[in-house]
Structure 1
Amino acid sequence: MKAYRGVDNKIRLFRPDKNMARMRRTAHRAALPDFETEELIKVICDQIALDQEWVPYSSTSSLYIRPTLIGTDPTLGVGFPLEAKLFVLTGPVGQYYSTGFQPVRLLADPQYVRAFPGGVGAFKMGCNYAPTIWVGKEAAARNCQQVLWLHEVELITPPLERGLILPGVTRDSLLELAREWGEFKVSEKSFTMHDVKKALDEGRLLEMFGAGTACVVSPVGQILYYNREKGRHETWDVPTMKSSPNLMQRFYETINDIQYGRIMHPTWTRTI
């Protein structure tokens, strides 16, 4: 979650209720104690009001907010936590990628797995991040900024039912906006790398982008895919920045305008 200093100098949180709901679901899955959503939001608002000078005076920067809940039992064993600590970390941040709003190059290698059915890929847990560090290093060595984890005009996103991806607040916001605009079909369905390649070859894949709190929208310009059958890497060019209409740019600008107070949304922001 982030706090943004708007064009009117007011500080806003973006959809804190959704962030807290996800954190409660994660706490339940980790057998950690529950907490009162509104009370934690109030505490965070009080903290940000006290430290408001840490919120950057910039439309490209913000204050990152990381509520954290951990078990604190004095034992090395694995077991149901009887004690826990809830705390909030904050820090000013700039743009997520040093390249700014430019298309990224993704590494797609089917030998690595981030999440699996029945696991905790749909929850905000630290254990989901540790296995990605080595693969991220491999991606960087191949000049890739991120890793693509496999699983009419139409916007397609993987579904949440299999529990492989996090029910992101930004993801949810983009889908709500798309359905509100009503200009194209919005689908939540599974697709494979074969589907991606086929759509590229047929000229049907116009844009590809990721979404998240850190970057809002991250356009994809290339995929470095390891083809097991051929035993080599293939580079697939994605025409994200060349397509029209530029949907991901529109998403980015709309969310950004709401976060920084250029567009007023009745329920998505909370002013501190």
Structure 2
Amino acid sequence: MKCWQAADLVIQLSSSSKTKPDVLDFGTVFTDHMLTIEWSVTEGWQAPLIKPFGNLSLHPACSSLHYGIQLFEGLKAYRGDDNRLRLFRPMLNMNRMANSAKRACLPAFDQSELLECIRRLVEIDQDWVPYSGSASLYIRPTFISTEPSLGVKKPTRALLYVILSPAGSYFNNDSEAISLWADPKYTRAWKGGTGDCKMGGNYGCALFAQYEAVDYGCQQVLWLYGEDQQITEAGTMNIFLHWINEDGEEEVATPPLDGIILPGITRQSILELTRKWGEFKVTERYLTMDQLCSALKQQRVKEMFGSGTACMICPIGHILYQGENLHIPHQDKNSHLTSQIAKELTDIQYGRTSSDWTYLV
């Protein structure tokens, strides 16, 4: 059945604008408008609609509420030094969203048409994009089943919607290295599961471990997997290790995309950037806690950091593991990789460096 087209977009503008706050807690303030697109198995996709931001009306038996048939994406719009608005590699988000939708048994959609609808939404609410080199407009496409039935089955109704939220720092102080709690008793994802999809269930089931990490004085969980305690992700971030490996080579390593790891857009960008530099070995490989502990004892670790759309680049300073507080070197004269990567990426995102990774609004 044919998908909608952005040319069919219906726009209903809000009669008034909200007050824009000066201080922003991540994901708590929303813009004046939202995008909604409804689907049913009998009628297919309806015309996309941009309308004033407001609550959704859902049937109490809606299967997204009962069985977690839903997914989301996260990308940002940046206001450049030239006052132009840019999205960062948005088709990668559209591709990942399509893959998640297939896994969730939600209907396929035209990725380019969705991106054009998002572009129009951002254009309409462009005054909400911060005039700041450290803030942006967070874009949250969401796709849910609206099947009004308690039967566990493939949805016959669905809703794709997009909301926008101006965003400052994800953590209270992005310049400080964060602390991680590593305990193998909790697992974020597993082989054959949905760890490589951006589904709400991956995050909701992580909350209990997250708050236990806080009880131990740490900010995030370092997720481990398997008998050999493979390092997978940290909180909502992909993980990178900059070290001298077992063969004496300088290397930047990150866990491979084996179905457990979320294929992060920032992760992919870091791999492509550092490989282009050609200054050291860049590898997607399994990393274990034993390897990390040995490297720390032998002073082979240069730095460790997380990456993601919300946090960008986040240095890691400490890992609490088996009762021991492992100190991770960061941001000294011998380890400046996080700063270098962050600068190159933000220069692209804010238009200071020309790149085909940006999509103009």
- Range class of TM-score, shorter chain: over 0.9
Q: Is the 8 A contact 1:206 1:240 kept in 2?
A: yes
Give the alignment of 1:231-242 within 5 angstroms. 233-242=323-332
Question: 2 CA distance for matches of 1:88 and 1:243?
Answer: 43
Question: 1 CA distance for matches of 2:302 and 2:333?
Answer: 6
Q: Corresponding residue for 2:341?
A: 251
Give the alignment of 1:143-162 within 5 angstroms. 143-150=217-224, 151=230, 152-161=249-258
Kindly indicate which of the two structures has a greater share of residues assigned to helix.
Answer: 1
Q: Corresponding residue for 2:91?
A: 17
Q: Corresponding residue for 2:138?
A: 64
Question: 2 CA distance for matches of 1:140 and 1:5?
Answer: 34
Q: 1:180 aligns with which of 251, 272, 276?
A: 276
Q: Structure 1: 5+ residue runs without aligned partners?
A: 228-232
Which residue type is aligned with residue 204 of structure 1?
R
Q: Is the 8 A contact 2:267 2:308 kept in 1?
A: yes
3-state SS, counterpart of residue 160 of structure 1: coil
Q: Is the 8 A contact 1:221 1:241 kept in 2?
A: no
3-state SS, counterpart of residue 77 of structure 2: strand
Q: Corresponding residue for 1:192?
A: 288
Which residue type is aligned with residue 270 of structure 2?
L
1:130 aligns with 2:130: no
Question: 2 CA distance for matches of 1:58 and 1:140?
Answer: 31
Return closer, same or farther for 1:122/1:92 CA change in 2, 3 Å cut-off. Answer: same
Q: Corresponding residue for 2:126?
A: 52
Instruction: Provide the TM-score with structure 2 as the length reference.
Output: 0.72
Q: Is the 8 A contact 2:302 2:335 kept in 1?
A: no
Question: 2 CA distance for matches of 1:127 and 1:146?
Answer: 18
1:213 aligns with 2:309: yes
Q: Corresponding residue for 2:352?
A: 262
Displacement after TM superposition at 1:248 (Å):
1.1
Displacement after TM superposition at 1:243 (Å):
5.2
Displacement after TM superposition at 1:26 (Å):
0.4
3-state SS, counterpart of residue 140 of structure 1: helix
Q: Is the 8 A contact 1:206 1:243 kept in 2?
A: no
Question: 1 CA distance for matches of 2:87 and 2:306?
Answer: 21
Which residue type is aligned with residue 251 of structure 1?
I
Displacement after TM superposition at 1:34 (Å):
0.7
Question: 2 CA distance for matches of 1:90 and 1:26?
Answer: 20
3-state SS, counterpart of residue 148 of structure 1: strand
Q: Structure 2: 5+ residue runs without aligned partners?
A: 1-74, 225-229, 231-248
3-state SS, counterpart of residue 49 of structure 1: helix
1:92 aligns with 2:166: yes
CA deviations over 1:123-167 (Å, ceiling 9, x no partner):
100110011111111112222111111121100100002x11100
Displacement after TM superposition at 1:3 (Å):
0.4
3-state SS, counterpart of residue 101 of structure 1: coil
Displacement after TM superposition at 1:245 (Å):
4.1
Q: Corresponding residue for 2:241?
A: none
Q: 1:201 aligns with which of 294, 297, 308?
A: 297
Return closer, same or farther for 1:124/1:243 CA change in 2, 3 Å cut-off. Answer: farther
Q: Corresponding residue for 1:104?
A: 178
Q: Corresponding residue for 1:26?
A: 100
CA deviations over 1:2-38 (Å, ceiling 9, x no partner):
0000111101000001010000000001111011011
Q: Which runs of 4+ in 1 moved over 6 A?
A: none
CA deviations over 1:198-230 (Å, ceiling 9, x no partner):
0101111111001000011110000011x2xxx
Percent same amino acid at aligned positions? 49
Q: Corresponding residue for 2:56?
A: none
Kindly indicate which of the two structures has a greater share of residues assigned to strand.
Answer: 2
Higher relative contact order (CA 8 A, sep 6+): 1
